[in-house]
Amino acid sequence: MSETTIALLGQPNSGKSTLFNGLTGSRQHVGNWPGKTVESKRGAFNRQGDTYHVVDLPGTYSLSANSEEEIVTRNFIAGGQADLICILADASQLERSLFMLADYAGIQVPAVLILNMMDVCDAQGKKIDTEGLERELGIPVIPMVAADKKRYDDFYEVLEKRCAKASLLKEDGLSTLYAEELGVNFEKVKKLLPEKGIGIYSVDWLTTKLLEKDALAISVVREVIDTAAFDQLQVELGGIQDGNLRSADCKFQWIEKLMKGNVVNTGQRVKRSRFDRAATSKRWGKPIAIGMIVLGLVVSMLIGMPLMGLFGALISGISAPLSSWLLSIGTAPFIVSLLCNAVLTAVSFALQMASYVFGISLVFGFMEDIGYMARISYTFDNTMAKLGLQGKAIMPFLVSFGCNIGGVTGTRVIDSWGQRVMTMALSWAVPCASTWGVVGLVSGTFFGSQAVFVILSLFAVAFLHMYVTYKIFGRSLNKEAERTGLIMELPPYHKPHWKSLFGSVFNKMGNVLKRALLIIITISVVFWLLAYTPDGNVQSSIIYRIGTFIEPVTLRFGLPWQLFMAFAASAMGKEAALGVMASLFNTDGIWSAIEGSSVVNTAVLSTSLMSVVSKPEALAFLFAFFFNIPCLMALSATAQESHSMKWTLRIAGYYIGMALVMAAIAYHVGLLIF
Amino acid sequence: MKKLSELQGGTTGMVTAISGDTRFQSRVTSIGLTVGSAIEVIQNPKKRPLLLYGRDTMIAINRVDSEKIMVEVTGK
């Protein structure tokens, strides 16, 4: 029985997450790094009685301390909690992806090198001499396909041996290059530092990072050496030009040497397929991407819908027998109603949401897995630049037309936190499928053939809304200086790995479901309490009293109290608005309407709406509804993905405020027109 | 010496200088575009990111940033 902590280190797309999921399965915990907006993923697995804790470090391109992700990574390694660092490289793009290894050399924590995507590498006709690499590097080198759990044996074997004897990555080859290429400057700086390095950092590693003007390395050094030496250091560093460029050059020279001796490329350079030429071309790129995404949305609906129907039917099937059984054993009607109406409805909402997320994650996960997603980002980069974003932000926007939750979870691929949250904030304005359902019904009822103009005006305002959002949040969230333009590798296409794809999709669905249940149940119970009346008469419910009490205020936004409540309920889920309207305008029980939202009798609703609500009020409602926050689930997804409750609430507040302002404007414009 | 952004598809060359701030330089070098590295431009359409081959990898880089990279043309 022993406990070992291993950490996974690698560039984005090196397959870190795939390996992490493969190793830990469902034994994982997702949270935040303390005080940071960076996701922390930890998990564990057992192997022959020993426990291994796995930490999935944030994907970064190097170990320079330029971003929060990189700082988290550096501090974790320096903290000495890990017994072994597993450095991942993509064997199909080996030269480039070995950079992390080169940047690591000099850190005195035992390491192994994992060559992932060996299947693609083999298909390219490349032969890698792993034993040769092991000799030169001094650490185990493990070829692997992270998506294929059957091929983990080599890795497990190394882990078991490693516990007995740990080995460090050899840095002498790199040190020689530094000394040759950087010359006197390198030696001068090195002499000012402790000969044995500081902590886990070797003296050569620290010297290089100082030449690269790395803030974290400077502060580490400042704590250890005396002031005179530090001043001298500043002088030396000030005299060095392009230290970072030259050290990067050294690292790649080292990699080239490593490759020359141990990698044989028998195949020719892979020619770009006709499809890839088309997918990245100016004329066909966008149409192909849009076609693929529409197809993706349709397929994800086809996958998600039957599941949604199944869950919906299952829950309503349980509800009636359960309530009669509870009543028969003498449970108070109040409790029965709470359980069977509020809680069970919430459970079915959450399950249906999860089905949606399942379909979308599967289809878009597939596109990511085979390498096509990067082409979509490339194609849309110029479009997204207009909003201060980069090409990778297009996917979340398009997915949001189906479901905003899918859109928010899709922002994960974007490099910087600021741009990620900015994308989430903007994607909220994209109307999801349910929004269209309600908008279609209400605008059709009130405006007949003119509805098309209403919808066009909603669209026009949506673009304006996005631009305003960009202007308001852009300054603090996505500072000009911190923006990163699109710089990305386009991976070679490869076959999908179904097993690991399904594994990660189920994982994601589980996380969404857990959060959804918690939030939706809480809110449902509150709403149920407000609407509950022992006699079923709406006028004796709290919601009626509140609604009529605040009506003088809501009327300023053009919203009679029933419509305002529908607007409020639409924050739970857009469909809920229909249910609330149906109940409030029919003075039946309110909750039964929310619960049965899918079977709202729209014909009856339309006539009762027409008799009570004026056209300007309907217009006001449409605007308020359209620009309201997407739904609670999207809100919780945003909190989860941004790792910042503060920003999530700020964005939500902004959306609700803007929705009401727009309702007021629409109402007054409506008064002039109609 | 020319800016990377000015090169046509099919051009091969060697990176000679990278300007911009440290953060940008670190980002570009970590993806394999270092001073002295060989590249081949795949396509360079107007108003789109540039596509190139470098170190075994197909890389897309946006126009603004590709102006900061200087290249010595070696062939066409």
Domains parsed from chain B with CATH numbers: 2-75 (2.30.30.90)
Residue A261 shares a structural domain with residue A276: no
Does residue A74 belong to the interface with chain B, where contact is any CB pair within 8 Å?
A: no
Residue A278 has pLDDT above 80, yes or no: yes
| Structure token digits, residue A238 | 């000030």
Task: Determine contact: B5 vs chain A, CB below 8 A.
Answer: no
The whole-number pLDDT of residue B40 equals: 93
The tokens for B75 are 């062939």
Does residue A341 belong to any structural domain of this protein?
yes
Q: Judge if A229 and A204 occupy the same domain.
A: yes
B59 at A interface, C-beta within 8 A: yes
Give the whole-angstrom CA distance, residue A331 versus residue A346.
21
For residue range A389-405, what is the model confidence (pLDDT) as tens digits? 888 888 888 888 877 88
- pLDDT at res. A574: 80
Does residue A559 fall inside a structural domain?
A: no
In a domain, A659, yes or no: no
Residues 234-263 on A with a CB inside 8 Å of B are 242, 244-246, 248-249, 252
Domain of A240 in residue numbering reads as 172-265
Does A491 map to a domain? no
- Verify whether the Cβ–Cβ distance A487 to B62 is below 8 Å: yes
pTM: 0.83
- Do A218 and A355 fall within a single domain? no
Mean pLDDT of A563-568: 88
Which of A280, A394, A416 is the mutation pick for testing B, counting most B CBs within 10 A?
A: A280
Give the model confidence (pLDDT) of A410-459 as tens digits: 888 787 888 899 999 999 999 887 787 778 878 887 888 888 889 899 98
**Which SS3 state, helix, strand or coil, does residue B13 take?**
strand
Overall number of domains in chain A: 3
Please check whether residue A391 lies inside any domain of the structure. no
Whether A508 maps to a domain, the answer reads: no
Shared-domain flag, residues A100 and A115: yes
* Other C-beta atoms lying within 10 Å of the C-beta of residue A598: 14
| Contacts with A249 from chain B: Cβ below 8 Å | 29, 34-36
Residues A112 and A200 in one domain: no
Tell me the C-alpha distance between A342 and B6, whole Å. 63
What DSSP line would sit under A316-369, residue for residue?
HHHHHHHHHHHHHTT--HHHHHIIIIIIHHHHHHHHHHHHHHHHHHHHHHHHHH
Buried b (16+ CB within 10 A) or exposed e, A87-104: bbbbbbbbbbbbbbbbbb
Contact B60 A252 (CB under 8 A): no
- Output the average pLDDT for chain A: 85
Extract the tokens encoding A293. 């995404």
- For residue A584, name the pLDDT band (cuts at 50, 70, 90): low
* A434 part of a folded domain: no
Domain end among A209, A242, A265: A265
Q: What count of other Cβ atoms lies within 10 Å of the Cβ of residue A235? A: 10
* CA A577/CA A469 separation, integer angstroms: 25
Task: Give me the CATH number covering residue A63.
Answer: 3.40.50.300
Question: Minimal Cα–Cα distance from B7 to chain A, Å?
Answer: 17
Same domain, yes or no: A10 and A116: yes
Judgement on whether residues A312 and A363 belong to the same structural domain of the protein = yes
B46, two tokens: 């107007």
Mean pLDDT computed over A122-133: 91
Judged against a pLDDT cut of 90, whether residue A186 lies above it is answered with no
Mutate to test the interface with B, among A252, A380, A483 (most CBs of B within 10 A): A252
Let me know if residue A365 belongs to a domain.
yes
- The CATH number for A210's domain is 1.10.287
A vs B: CB pairs below 8 A: 115
Radius of gyration of chain A (CA): 29
pLDDT in tens, A216-239: 999 999 999 989 999 998 888 888
Residue A588 has pLDDT above 60, yes or no: no
* Same domain, yes or no: A260 and A283: no
- Joined tokens for residue A43: 């998990």
| Nearest CB partner across the interface for B34, out of A11, A249, A390 | A249
B70 in contact with A, Cβ within 8 Å: no
pLDDT tens figures, A461-480: 999 999 999 989 888 887 76
Residue A96: list chain B partners with CB under 8 A: 31-32, 54-57
Residue of A87, A180, A181, A245 to mutate, testing the B interface (most B Cβ within 10 Å of its Cβ): A245
Closest CA in chain B for residue A92: B56
Rounded to the nearest angstrom, the gap between the alpha carbon of residue A271 and the centroid of all alpha carbons in its chain is 33
Q: What is the DSSP letter of A589?
A: -
Q: Looking at the structure, do residues A185 and A130 belong to the same domain, yes or no?
A: no
Residues A153 and A177 in one domain: no
Tell me which of A265, A283, A306 is where a domain ends.
A265
A9, A136: one domain:
yes
Domain endpoint, select from A265, A288, A315: A265
Q: Are residues A25 and A156 in the same domain?
A: yes
